[in-house]
Structure 1
Amino acid sequence: MKKTLRYILTGLNILAVVCLLVSYLSIYIPPDKWWIPSFFGLAYPFILTANIFFIVLWLLIKPRNMLVSLVAIFIGWGFVSRYIQLKGKTIEKGDIKVLSYNVQYFNGEGGSQKKTANKIVDFLKEQDADIICLQEARLRKNSIFNLPNTVAKLGTINHYQFARSSTTYGSVTMTRFPIINMGEIRFENTTNMSIYTDVLIGEDTVRIFNVHLQSYQIDPNRYTVIDSPDFTEEENIREMREIGLKFKTAFQLRAAQVREIRKHIDASPYHVLVCGDFNDTPASFSYQKLRGKLKDAFVVSGKGIGRTYVGKLPSFRIDNIFYSTGFQSFNFKTYDFRLSDHLPVSCELIKN
């Protein structure tokens, strides 16, 4: 009996290792070429946890067997640092404070969009950032989020750019630095988009990309399987297939979107900042393609797990701030400010 159990555990351990290795491929293989690794990349934290479990288990039963999972984790050690940081990197005050926040249409107060918008503006004023990138902001010509009034309330912010991705909402970049150029990156067959803003910081021009990539388009309130994962029910199985298809579609659409943004990043004659809602995890093709040789502010100066999504779906870090070699990052922070299904993130930069 003990021998049979050991064989079963060994088989499950090997399966966990194979899944972990496949998850490493997710950052290199475009999901519109082969989408299966993207699911493993999405599940990376859970797969990693399973391998850690086997390391502890074998340490108690047969220590030599733990080497398989240990080596597999070591191979992808760089992935771990994308999810967990222990020390952080702090400074009293940087040259530039950057903040990014998906405000979810100002729906955080249960339908009172005006109340939510006012609280968010108060939060932004308190943070006193030099560059603010918002996604999913309602931009109708009414008093919910009036940009000139908002800029006046923020005090140090004097310039802004916005672009509608639909008739009602879009992305906004606000800054205290003069804007000398701006543009939009539109994607086909979707309301997601990116805007870029050239600002003058001292004598240097910096291009800011405010990014909002394709979401999974999943309403958690519509699917009972999210709250009650009973896979013996036929309806739940149907829902899981539908959710899986939405995930696959989003993976593939984001692949095309990040290629387009990457072209603009590579063509930029200036140092760049890339901020926004990626709707994808650090173990993804989207993250890897956009990051390229840029630095991830969380990896460099963050602390903790850094999750930014707080909806009903599994919680991961999907909001990011990247920067080019012209800067150093300090004081990365994720705010426990829950007026959206995302949490705001910020960092402070020093020019090299």
Structure 2
Amino acid sequence: MNTFLRSFLLILNILLAVALLASNFLPYIDPASFWPAGFAGLTFPFLLVINLVFLPVWLLFRKKYWLLPLVAIVLSVSAIVKTWAFHPFNENSLEKSADSKEFTVMTYNTSNMGLKYFTEEKAIRSNVYNTIVFGQADILCLQEFYTNDRPDYTHNIDSIRNKAGYEYHYFTKDKTHWDTWYYGIALFSHHPILKATAIPCGVSTNGSGSSFLQADLLVHGDTIRVITLQLVSYMLNGGDMSAAKDLHFRPLIHKMKQTFTHRSAQAAQLAGLIQESPFPVIVCGDFNDVPVSYTYRKISSGLQDAFSRAGNGLGRTMSYISPTLRIDYILASKQLQVLGCQTMRVADSEHFPVIARLSLKK
């Protein structure tokens, strides 16, 4: 019985070790040309934990098979560092010191400010306002932002400026309904906006994700370029989920393959904008992809991930589906110093905002 059990566990561990390595290295392949690579990184945290469990199992059996999961884990160190951050003593890392070069940045997917089926959910909108005021970020980037010019609805731009005291803002207005309902990406700042533009990057039906918001800001006497965005999501609906439950996966896979291709093109376009910037760059927003992914690797090349550098834990930014989903990021050029980073838990929010404290290097 023990021999059979050991043989079964050994075969299982070999398969899981290979799967862990695949989830680590497949994201180096563009999913537009090999679509299974787009799924790989999603499984990485779970495969890592399972391989860790095998270490004491083989020690219990007093077999050297523990080398198998250990080697797979060691070869996955780069992905582990991207997925987990460990800076336990950075609890007060967002408190600015007297250094005049420090500033804070927040990115937050507001899920259309609580607008659902063209009805404004006041409680959700109030939570967004309270989070923005509490964060007190010098630079605020909002994706899936909504505002309305109708007097019987909410003009969220004016409300945020009044509540948080922002002097400057720019809004992409990616989508308009009935002449007064506006959707897109918004940037608010206490620092002057020297130039801002919306750069087309495709077509999105959810009101955010049709353009990159690029703005040059004057921060403590230096110019910094901020690019905030939302990359295309899978936009799965109830019909997709029902089909999957009935084991009809073809429509779901087809939609995901299309998303991989579109997101890959957006990542390449964004990487080009980053390389062309004459100023230090901050890239932030909803990438709709995990740290172990082609999307993340393409965009983050040459940049610092604020959470990886100064955060703690998994940094979950999605409130549902999986506790391992970190898809919202703040990335910064190496000319900037990352001093702190946290995710903020917000009630009744699909996404959790990320806020970072940065400084211009002297």
Question: TM-score, normalising length from structure 2?
Answer: 0.88
- CA displacement 1:264-293 (0-9 Å, x = unmatched): 110000000011001000000111111001
Aligned partner of 1:275 in structure 2 is 284
Task: Supply the distance in 2 between the matched residues of 1:109 and 1:246 (Cα, whole angstroms).
Answer: 24
Residues matched between the structures, number: 342
Aligned partner of 1:93 in structure 2 is 96
What CA RMSD, in Å, does the superposition of the two structures yield over aligned residues?
2.2
Aligned partner of 1:231 in structure 2 is none
Contact 1:117 1:144 in 2 (8 A): no
List aligned pairs for 1:63-142, cutoff 5 A.
63-88=63-88, 89=90, 90=93, 92-93=95-96, 95-107=102-114, 112-142=120-150
Aligned partner of 2:163 in structure 1 is 153
Aligned partner of 1:261 in structure 2 is 270
Aligned partner of 1:229 in structure 2 is none
Amino acid at match of 1:175: S
**Gaps (5+ residues) in structure 1?**
227-234
Aligned partner of 2:179 in structure 1 is none
Question: 2:236 is paired with a residue of what secondary structure?
Answer: coil
Aligned partner of 1:213 in structure 2 is 231
Amino acid at match of 2:58: W
Contact 1:308 1:343 in 2 (8 A): yes
Aligned partner of 1:321 in structure 2 is 330
Deviation, structure 1 residue 221: 8.5
Aligned partner of 1:223 in structure 2 is 241
Higher alpha-carbon deviation: 45-54 or 171-180? 45-54
Contact 1:163 1:171 in 2 (8 A): yes
Question: 2:216 is paired with a residue of what secondary structure?
Answer: strand
2:192 paired residue among 160, 172, 178: 178
Task: Supply the distance in 1 between the matched residues of 2:16 and 2:315 (Cα, whole angstroms).
Answer: 25
Question: 2:148 is paired with a residue of what secondary structure?
Answer: coil
Deviation, structure 1 residue 248: 2.5
Task: Supply the distance in 1 between the matched residues of 2:323 and 2:315 (Cα, whole angstroms).
Answer: 14
Contact 1:102 1:340 in 2 (8 A): no
Question: 2:228 is paired with a residue of what secondary structure?
Answer: strand
Task: Supply the distance in 2 between the matched residues of 1:145 and 1:304 (Cα, whole angstroms).
Answer: 36
Aligned partner of 1:230 in structure 2 is none
Deviation, structure 1 residue 315: 4.4
Corresponding position: 1:202 with 2:220: yes
Question: TM-score, normalising length from structure 1?
Answer: 0.90
Contact 1:106 1:340 in 2 (8 A): no
Distance 1:11 1:108, change over 3 A: farther
